[in-house]
Chains A and B, each alone.
Chain A
Amino acid sequence: MSTGAVGRAYPRLEGAAKVTGTARYAVEYPVDGVTYGWAVPSAVVRGRITRIDTTEALASPGVLAVVHHGNAPRMAPGPQPELRLLQEPTVHYRGQYVAVVVATSLEAAREGARLVRIDYDTGPHSTVLTDDHPGLYKPDQVNPSYPTDTAEGDFDAGYAAAPVRVDVTYRTPAYHNNPMEPHATTAQWHDGRLLVHDSTQGATPVRATLAELFELPPESIRVVAEHVGGGFGSKGYAKASVVLAALAARHMDRPVKLALTRQQLFGPVGYRTPTIQRVRLAADTDGRLTAICHDAISQTSTIREFAEQTAVYTRSMYAAPHRRTTHRLVRLDVPTPFWMRAPGECPGAYALESAVDELAIAVGLDPVELRIRNDTAVDPDQGRPFTSRNLVACLREGAQRFGWAGRDPSPRAGRDGRWLIGTGVAGSSYPARARPSTATATARPDGSFLVQINATDIGTGARTAIWQVAADALGVPPERVEIRIGDSALPTAALAGGSMGTASWSWAVIRAAQALREKLRDGGPPTGEVTAEADTTEEVGGQPALPRYAYGAQFVEVRVDADTGEVRLNRMLGVFAAGRVVNPTTARSQLIGGMTMGLSMALHEEGLLDERYGDWVNHDLATYHITGCADVESIEAYWLDERDDELNPAGVKGIGEIGIVGAAAAVANAVHHATGVRIRELPIRLDKLIGISDLA
């Protein structure tokens, strides 16, 4: 069946359009009679609007309207309370959008927004996560539907009885997704039908949300997301921009373009919750784990519960007879946290893979070897064998490629002039899942094929990957296949998230292609177009619930300036086992992108909250530092040739998130090896290491 498109390094289909600037993003479509919306954020944390004075704003040149809770079109409750914007005077967090100014130009709208006068009644607020916050509580479940706590064996007894123990607490700050393209929307109403061009990871869920909010049948709404400049989870569902644009356009009865600014992305569109994580590990003197406990604390908002599944990673990664995990939350007067690349696994792996490193030191065992000794063929959580688990193979190949053998484990063993050199390792894993999707495949009389599915390419190369899968499934060269994605008018499909896009979409595309070939076989050569459709709902839903995971091992070498405490990355190398790789070019980009984001988490990123104002004050890319190219002196990603027949027809596990999982721990472990100093609160910046040359 295969003509061999899968596995070949095709450049992105839309690459030329993107680099020449002809690819259109959400607010770049020309629209007749368009107006520009500017979102007005609340200037208080918690309170109630008592008065909105729009006189000055409306008198400002070019301003057409100010839409707010007093005059906005009404919306139904909808699925997410934070999207019920401009419906009531209540303010739940600073930065909540309380009005939209609509004007004939972007600049006029911005100036108008400055002139809207709002009075509030305010109350006291709480915006800082602490491990002794009086509001700590146990949620009913954690995302998406895991048990809040788990326990096997008797952790307390197992821990107390062990000869080697580690009891450590790690802290991570708020992280902000910061896709290059902000959340942005063009909204147009025509005869009661709504057309939006939106920057989203899933046009189908956006359409569903808008249908609920505006009480319309989904067929009356079309959501187009042809090109999307990144999301990292923050565009996984409908966000404020699309709701505000649709509301404003309805109010105006004119098209509205609305793009959030960089500053407006810090909070209201979601962010990774800060975490406080206590990890306790116990082992015998051979380094075999006997007890594991991971207690995770994170925050949510007062409007909706978002329970980051921080400790879930620990449930399946390493085996031990005595195990416990817990999650606790605090409702703060903050925007609701949301998904950010590998929610749960990313912060959780930072803590666990750091603690494992601390355990290796306590036992006196190489950290690669300790991980190998604690490998398990059976998922400790589910009690069933993993469909495939190549963690050890990743560790071994990574160690060999990196040159790990012969490493002197003692801290400060490496030195190059003023630089202290250290190396670190961490494991990675991420679930391999799929969601139901539908697709159509059409044969045309000229011998070409059209494949349609509402997949989304958020910059990953998804369009190209599905095209390759489709060509092989149709048994034709890819040049004969046209692929259409990114439009809710196309067959409904899963969103681009959870590393399940390619698995979900290729599943439906392969089934549609198979159905088409069946039709063509029956009917002979087509004289007109022949179309077949597929819906994988039953097949995906009927899949046995087995533990399916991708794995990886990450190796890092850093240098730390003994005087200034500056940390620099010498090299970073990851080896991954993620099923079949569809396109080596785009796969490599995903993996090194994830690893780089993990490096950024370890060394650079930190949302600085000012408790008095209740928001993050470093809300731009000049003050919220993200790793730049100069910080990444050498980065390599490899993958194993892995076959797993229990996954999906394409045999893929997903690669969007695994690269960030464990990466920060590998960096932190290398910093410890270089310096002998264990920083347990990210990011590891020079102020935490300055003066280490004076330390013993």
Chain B
Amino acid sequence: MKAFRYHRPADVAEAVAVLAAEPQAAYLGGGTNLVDLMKLGVQRPDVLVDVTRLPLDTVEELPDGGLRIGATVRNSDLAAHPVVRRDYPVLARALLAAASGQLRNMATTGGNLLQRTRCVYFQDTSKACNKREPGSGCAALHGQNRDLAVLDWSEQCVATHPSDLAVALAALDTVVEVHDADGPRDVRIADLYRSPGTHPERETTLARGALITAVRLPPLPAARRSTYLKVRDRASFAFAAGSVAAVLNLDGDVVRDVRLAYGAVAHRPWRAYRAEEELRGRPFSPELAARAADAELAEARPLRHNGFKVPLTRAITVRALTELASS
């Protein structure tokens, strides 16, 4: 693999400055994805800027009732945090449904959000991939694409975003705190990720060198009744075949508020606004949930091997909401 330098910055400003000065630098969090990609030659940074020693590893309760989660908080610590477990069960469940215990001990909050697709063509430098090498083509479009997108893909890229955490955060209207060359700023998670379009190599709206320093959960009492369902090809340690993050707030049997997001269907964690719209203000029933999922998935365009994702996502939408409604 390519030789690289290793830098441990004293603070966030220094980390951002190094990235600004080095065209081929990368932030190193838990390394659970980046190091693999470096071995495979998919990512070839000159410098690794290790951000795990920065003081970004705390979970802080905010005066407004929300929660700020530092970017280097490890996935296992976050999943075990009592406030997260009590107020945002969808988040704890999404974290625990991901990877393995060893990986969760290493993986960070910020790194998790910026992990790369597990599309097999992206991870193999001997095959065509526009995301890895713009203009080289998309081998997955007509290749083995069982794991890939059914929504919002382009001829240039059919990759999915692999994170479970990001799906839960999308449902929670999370704000991502970012530090770049212009200083700190907030980015709504809905604005963080990009559709693949003609530039699948650009996965987020962040400027090059931007560092995620924290994610901020708004106060959302309804999230106490929330869940994350993930279906996998084996019982543990697999990326999602389908997943749903759901928050449901009923007034009697009428849906007052609902938040839904899907994993494994698109280039980004997929917030199901249309389904939410179908549900809001109506008396809840499993049939309504199914209609809502159908509305969301109406524009799905399955590839050759992944047609099952549409009925699967529909089935787990109904299950998640029905379970929440009866809890």
Which A residues lie at the B interface, using CB under 8 A?
43, 61, 107-108, 110-111, 114, 263, 418, 563-566, 568, 603-604, 608-610, 612-613, 617-620, 622-623, 625, 627-631, 685-687, 690-691
Which residues of chain B come closer than 8 Å to A43, judged between CB atoms?
126
Nearest-CB residue, chain A, relative to B316? A564
| Chain A neighbourhood of B233, CB < 8 A | 604, 625, 685-686
Across the interface, do B127 and A617 meet the contact criterion of CB distance under 8 Å? yes
The 0/1 profile, CB within 8 Å of A marked 1, for residues 217-247 of chain B is 0000000000000010111111101100000
Give B238's nearest chain A residue, CB to CB.
A625
Cα–Cα, bound, A263→B39 (Å): 12
- Whether the Cβ atoms of A690 and B315 lie closer than 8 Å is yes
Which one, B123, B139, B308, B316, contacts A610 given CB within 8 A?
A: B139
* A627 CA to B232 CA, complexed, in Å: 12
Task: Give chain B residues whose Cβ lies under 8 Å from the Cβ of A568.
Answer: 235
Cα A549 to Cα B123 with chains together (Å) = 45
Determine the residue in chain B with the shortest Cβ distance to A569. B235
> Is B85 an interface residue, CB under 8 A from the partner?
no
**A-B contacts at CB below 8 angstroms, number:** 90
Chain A neighbourhood of B291, CB < 8 A:
none
Q: How far is the CA of A114 from the CA of B233 in the complex (A)?
A: 33
Choice from A114, A613, A623, A690 contacting B311 with Cβ under 8 Å: A690
Residue among B235, B237, B308 making CB contact with A686, cutoff 8 Å = B308
**Interface on chain B toward A: helix, strand, loop, or mixed SS?**
loop
Contacts of A108 in B (CB 8 A): 3
- B120 adjacent to A617 (CB under 8 Å): yes
Q: Does B143 contact A (CB under 8 A)?
A: yes
Q: Give the shortest distance, in Å, between B160 (CB) and chain A (any CB).
A: 13
A630 to B235 Cα, complex, angstroms: 6
User: Could you give 27 example pairs across A and B, Cβ below 8 Å?
Assistant: A43-B126, A563-B316, A565-B312, A568-B235, A604-B233, A610-B127, A610-B143, A610-B144, A612-B139, A613-B127, A617-B120, A617-B127, A617-B144, A619-B120, A622-B238, A625-B233, A625-B234, A627-B234, A629-B236, A630-B235, A630-B236, A631-B235, A685-B233, A686-B231, A687-B308, A690-B312, A690-B315
Q: From the candidates B39, B118, B121, B236, name the one contacting A622 in the complex (CB within 8 A).
A: B118
Report the separation of the CA atoms of residues A605 and B236 in the bound assembly, to the nearest whole angstrom: 15
How many Å lie between the Cα of A603 and that of B316 in the bound state? 21
Q: B308, A618: Cβ atoms under 8 Å?
A: no
Complex CA distance for A278 and B124, rounded to whole angstroms? 36
Cβ–Cβ contact A628 & B237, under 8 A: yes
CA distance A401 to B303 in the complex (A): 46
Query: A111-B1, A111-B2, A686-B308 in contact; A618/B120 too (CB < 8 A)?
Result: yes
Q: Which of B234, B307, B319 contacts A563 (CB 8 A)?
A: B319
Contacts of B147 in A (CB 8 A): 623
The answer, among B144, B311, B318, for a CB contact under 8 Å with A691, is B311
Indicate if the CB atoms of A690 and B236 lie closer than 8 Å.
Answer: no
- Say yes or no: A686-B124 contact (C-beta < 8 A), given A564-B316, A610-B143, A630-B235: no
A108 to B1, CA, bound (A): 6
Task: Assess whether B41 is interfacial by the CB under 8 Å rule.
Answer: yes
- Complex contact B234–A628 (CB within 8 A): yes
Q: Which of B120, B146, B318, B319 has the most CB of A within 10 A?
A: B120
Q: Which residues from chain B contact A565 at a C-beta distance below 8 Å? A: 308, 312
Q: How far is the CB of B114 from chain A (nearest CB, A)?
A: 18
A617 / chain B contacts, CB cutoff of 8 Å: 120-121, 124, 127, 143-144
- Cβ distance A343 to chain B, nearest Cβ, rounded Å: 25
**Distance in Å from the Cβ of A4 to the closest Cβ of chain B?**
41
For the complex formed, measure the closest distance between the CB of B294 and the CB atoms of chain A, giving whole angstroms: 14
C-alpha gap A629/B41 in the complex (Å): 31
Enumerate chain B residues within 8 angstroms of A563, measured Cβ to Cβ.
Answer: 315-316, 318-319
Please indicate the chain B residues that have their CB under 8 angstroms from the CB of A110 in the complex: 1, 39
Q: Measured between alpha carbons, how far is A608 from B233 in the docked complex, in Å?
A: 15
Cross-chain contact of B312 among A620, A628, A630, A686 (Cβ < 8 A): A686
Chain B residues with Cβ below 8 Å from A418 are 319
Known interface pairs A617-B124, A686-B231, A687-B308; A623-B118 also in contact (CB < 8 Å): yes
B contact residues vs A (CB 8 Å cutoff): 1-3, 39, 41, 118, 120-121, 123-127, 139, 143-144, 146-147, 231, 233-239, 241-242, 307-308, 311-312, 315-316, 318-319
Cα distance, A612 to B121, chains bound together (Å): 12
Q: Are A631 and B234 in contact (CB under 8 A)?
A: yes
How many Å lie between the Cα of A604 and that of B318 in the bound state? 26
Q: Which residues of B contact A566 (CB under 8 A)?
A: 231
**Additional A-B contacts beyond A610-B144, A687-B241 (20; CB < 8 A):** A61-B3, A107-B1, A107-B3, A108-B3, A111-B2, A111-B3, A608-B144, A608-B146, A612-B143, A613-B126, A617-B127, A618-B120, A622-B238, A625-B238, A627-B234, A628-B237, A630-B234, A630-B235, A630-B237, A686-B231
Contact check, A628 vs B316: say whether CB atoms are below 8 A apart.
no
- CA A618 to CA B146, docked complex, whole Å: 11
Chain A residues whose CB sits within 8 angstroms of the CB of B139 once the complex forms: 610, 612-613
* Nearest CB of chain B from residue A664's CB, rounded to whole Å: 15
A563 to B118, CA, bound (A): 26
B236 near A623: Cβ-Cβ < 8 Å? no
In the bound complex, do residue A564 and residue B231 qualify as a contact, i.e. CB atoms below 8 Å apart?
A: yes
Residues from chain B with a CB closer than 8 A to the CB of A612 are: 139, 143
**Given that A110-B39, A687-B146 are known contacts, is A604 also in contact with B234, CB under 8 Å in the complex?**
yes
Shortest Cβ distance from B2 into A: residue: A111
CB distance from A209 to the nearest CB of B (A): 29
Q: Are A114 and B312 in contact (CB under 8 A)?
A: no
Q: Who on chain A is nearest to B309 by CB?
A: A687
A88–chain B nearest beta-carbon distance, Å: 22
**Set of chain B residues within 8 Å of A613, measured between Cβ atoms:** 126-127, 139
Q: How far is the CA of A627 from the CA of B237 in the complex (A)?
A: 10
Of chain A, the residue at the smallest CB distance from B40 is A263
Closest 8 CB pairs of A and B: A687-B308, A630-B236, A630-B235, A563-B315, A617-B120, A608-B144, A631-B235, A107-B1
Q: Could you tell me the distance between the alpha carbons of A603 and B235 in the complex, rounded to whole angstroms?
A: 11
Shortest Cβ distance from residue B161 to the other chain A in the assembled complex, whole angstroms: 15
Interface centre among B3, B234, B315 (most CB of A within 10 A): B234
* Residue ID in chain B nearest A688 by CB atoms: B308
Measured in the bound complex, the distance between the Cα atoms of B234 and A43 in whole Å is 32
Residues of chain A within 8 A of B235, CB atoms compared: 568, 628, 630-631
A619 and B308 CA atoms in complex are apart in Å by 23
Smallest Cβ-Cβ distance to B315: which chain A residue? A563
Residues of B within 8 A of A608 (CB): 144, 146
Given A563-B319, A604-B234, A630-B236: A690 and B308 interface contact (C-beta under 8 Å): yes
Q: Is the CB of B127 within 8 A of A114?
A: no
Note all chain B residues with C-beta closer than 8 A to A691.
311
- Complex interface: chain B residues within 8 A of A61 (CB): 3
Given contacts A61-B3, A608-B144, A618-B144, contact A686 B241 (CB under 8 A): yes
Question: Closest CB of chain A to B59's CB: distance in Å?
Answer: 28
> Could you say which residues of chain B place their CB within 8 Å of the CB of A609?
144
Q: Which residue of A lies closest to B142 (CB)?
A: A612
Q: Give Cα A613–Cα B140 distance, bound, in whole angstroms.
A: 12
Q: Which residues of A contact B123 (CB under 8 A)?
A: 620
Minimum Cβ distance to chain B for residue A159 (Å): 37
Of all chain A residues, the one with the shortest Cβ separation from B125 is: A114
Which residues of chain A have C-beta atoms less than 8 A from B312's C-beta? 564-565, 686, 690
Whole-angstrom distance between the Cβ of B31 and the nearest chain A Cβ = 15
User: Contact between A623 and B234 (Cβ–Cβ < 8 Å)?
Assistant: no
Question: B231 — nearest CB in chain A belongs to which residue?
Answer: A564
Q: Are A623 and B120 in contact (CB under 8 A)?
A: yes
- Which A residue sits closest to B318, measured CB to CB? A563
Q: How far is the CA of A61 from the CA of B120 in the complex (A)?
A: 30
CA distance A691 to B242 in the complex (A): 15
Give the distance in Å from the alpha carbon of A77 to the alpha carbon of B307 in the complex: 49
Minimum C-beta distance from B100 to chain A (A):
9
CB A524 to nearest CB in B, in angstroms, measures 60
B107 shortest CB reach to chain A, Å: 14
Q: Which of A61, A620, A627, A629 has the most CB of B within 10 A?
A: A620
Contact residues in B for A685 (Cβ distance below 8 Å):
233
Residues of A within 8 A of B39 (CB): 110
